[in-house]
Amino acid sequence: MLPLLVAFFFAGGFPVRAATPFKPGMAMTSRSGQFVVFAPSSPAAEVESPASLTATNLVRLEQGPLAIICDRIREVLLQEMGAASLVQGRVYVRLHAGPPTAEIILKPIRFSQGWQYELTLPTRVDRTRLVTAVTHTMLQEMANRSSGGRVVNLPQWLVEGLTAQVLIAGGPALVPEPRRVLVVETTPRDHFAVARAHLRQHGALSFSDMNLPSNAQLVGAGWETHRYSAQIFVASLLRLSGGNVALVNFTRELGNYLNPQLAFLKAFNGHFRSALEIEKWWSVTVINLTGRDQHMNWTQSIALQRLDEILHTAVQAPTAGGELARRQNLRLQDGLMQLDFPQQRQVFTQTVRQLEILQWNAPRDLSRLVLDYRKTLADYVQERGRIEMRADLRNRIQGAHNAVIQNTIRQLDLLDVIREDFRRTGETETAGGRP
pLDDT at position 428 is 57
Distance CA 357, CA 260 (A): 29
pLDDT at position 142 is 93
pLDDT at position 86 is 66
- Residue 287 CB partners (closer than 8 Å, separation 6+): none
Neighbours of 33 (CB within 10 A): 10
Cβ(226)–Cβ(159) below 8 Å: no
Distance CA 158, CA 233 (A): 9
pLDDT at position 236 is 92
Cβ(104)–Cβ(128) below 8 Å: no
Distance CA 387, CA 191 (A): 42
Distance CA 238, CA 356 (A): 12
Distance CA 432, CA 425 (A): 11
Q: CA nearest 206: which of 269, 278, 153? A: 278
For the chain, domain boundaries: 1-154, 185-295, 297-431
Q: CA nearest 330: which of 305, 348, 352, 306? A: 348
If phi > 0 it is left, if psi is from -120 to 50 it is alpha, else beta; for residue 94 that is: beta
Query: What is the Cβ-side half-sphere exposure of residue 345, based on CA atoms within 13 angstroms?
Result: 10
Distance CA 233, CA 210 (A): 10
Q: CA nearest 21: which of 136, 135, 117? A: 117
Cβ(252)–Cβ(142) below 8 Å: yes
Q: Provide the terminal-to-terminal Cα distance of the chain, rounded to the nearest Å.
A: 42
pLDDT at position 233 is 96
pLDDT at position 185 is 46
Q: CA nearest 368: which of 305, 313, 422, 311? A: 422
pLDDT at position 361 is 76
pLDDT in tens, the chain (435 residues): 556 666 655 443 323 333 344 444 578 999 999 999 998 876 654 445 454 444 468 999 999 999 999 999 999 999 889 887 666 889 999 999 889 999 999 999 998 888 999 999 999 999 999 999 999 999 999 999 888 889 999 999 999 999 999 998 888 888 876 555 444 444 445 678 889 889 888 889 999 999 999 888 888 989 999 999 999 999 999 988 889 999 999 999 999 999 999 999 999 998 999 999 999 999 888 887 776 555 556 788 888 988 998 888 655 555 555 444 455 678 899 989 988 888 888 888 878 878 877 887 788 788 889 989 988 998 898 888 877 766 555 556 566 678 899 999 999 999 999 999 988 876 655 554 444
Q: CA nearest 162: which of 217, 93, 243? A: 243
Judge if pTM exceeds 0.75: no
Distance CA 110, CA 145 (A): 11
- Structure-derived torsion over alpha carbons of residues 261, 266, 270, 272, reported in degrees to the nearest 10: 20
pLDDT at position 116 is 93
The helix (H) or strand (E) run that includes residue 327 is: strand 324-331
**Collapsed DSSP state (helix, strand, coil) of residue 223:** helix
Cβ(261)–Cβ(277) below 8 Å: no
pLDDT at position 122 is 95
Q: CA nearest 136: which of 99, 164, 175? A: 164
The distance of Cα 50 from the centroid of its chain, to the nearest Å, equals 32
**Ramachandran angles phi, psi of 17, nearest 5°:** -70, -15
- Residue 405 CB partners (closer than 8 Å, separation 6+): 336, 337, 380
**Ramachandran angles phi, psi of 148, nearest 5°:** 70, 20
pLDDT at position 20 is 41
- Residue 109 CB partners (closer than 8 Å, separation 6+): 9, 10, 11, 19, 21, 115, 116, 117, 118
**Helix pair angle (275-290, 193-202), 10° resolution:** 110
Query: Apex CA 195: angle with CA 189 and CA 198, to 5°?
Result: 130
